[in-house]
Structure 1
Amino acid sequence: MWSWVLHRVTGMLLFLFLLVHVLDTALVRVSPEVYNEVIGTYKTPIMGLGEVGLVAAVLFHAFNGIRIILVDFTAKGPRYQRVMLWIVIGLTVAALAGFLPRHLSNVFGAH
């Protein structure tokens, strides 16, 4: 049940991110100066940590979506759904572990 909740939460968070992304990108047409100010606010350590959450949400949502497809459309899917959930968690953690060192060095280290 928690994977169901987390899948919906990550889906909504990704939707909200995409909405904000489209709106802030559209600012370049309205006022390039305002666009530059908004983009400047994104270059903070807090937003860098937010990007970690965004990448984690994308990874979990994508891997869990594949798991849902396998559970729904394969004969043995329901039997192995719990094992597949642990695989999803493992893949998410592994991919995030590959992303974190480089990203955090960019956020907190020298550019």
Structure 2
Amino acid sequence: MPQTAGTLDSQQKTTSRRPAGTLYRGNTGMWSWVLHRITGVAIFFFLLVHILDTALVRLSPEAYNAVISQYQTPIMGLGEVALVGAIVFHAFNGLRIILIDFWNAKYQRVLFYVVIGLWVVTMLGFAPRHLINVFSH
């Protein structure tokens, strides 16, 4: 039985539709989630390295001093700015998540922009002072 064009169009429309509400599709909620996970993983790996290099003190104080002297470079100073940025974003976004859980989810987008604003203000206060110290030595 031949299908008419109208029937074919309606079949294509129903088979190509995705269920509503299952994908973020690039909204602020998705970016908040992605950035929260990335910063959390970065902080975890920093803590792992920090524990390992601190453990060198017990094994060999000379090895510990050698590792610490490698950390006092401008590249590591930039890494410290990135680390502080990750910690600050993760902390502010965690507070945003707590507010959404206990308050009202309809303000999620506004709170995300508040987090970004607070992060920018905090980093503008920290980064210049830290980088002056890093590059003046």
Same fold (TM over 0.5): yes
Residue of structure 2 equivalent to 1:16: 45
Cα distance, 1:108 vs structure 2: 0.6
Can you give the 5+ residue segments of structure 1 that lack an aligned partner in the other structure?
A: none
Whichever residue aligns with residue 96 of structure 1, its letter is M
Secondary structure at the counterpart of residue 10 of structure 1:
helix
Mapped partners of 2:111, 2:100: distance in 1:
9
Cα distance, 1:109 vs structure 2: 1.4
Residue of structure 1 equivalent to 2:82: 53
Q: CA RMSD in A?
A: 0.7
* Alignment: residue pair count: 108
More helix by share: 1
Residue of structure 2 equivalent to 1:72: 101
Q: TM-score, normalised by structure 2?
A: 0.77
Whichever residue aligns with residue 134 of structure 2, its letter is V
| % identity of equivalent residues | 68
1:95 aligns with 2:122: yes
Whichever residue aligns with residue 49 of structure 1, its letter is L
Whichever residue aligns with residue 127 of structure 2, its letter is L
Mapped partners of 1:54, 1:90: distance in 2:
18
Cα distance, 1:100 vs structure 2: 1.1
Q: Which of 43, 55, 58 pairs up with 2:72?
A: 43
- Structure 1 residue ranges (4+ consecutive) displaced by more than 4 angstroms after TM superposition: none
Q: TM-score, normalised by structure 1?
A: 0.95
Whichever residue aligns with residue 109 of structure 2, its letter is R
Can you give the 5+ residue segments of structure 2 that lack an aligned partner in the other structure?
A: 1-29
Residue of structure 2 equivalent to 1:25: 54
CA radius of gyration, larger in: 2
Cα distance, 1:47 vs structure 2: 0.4
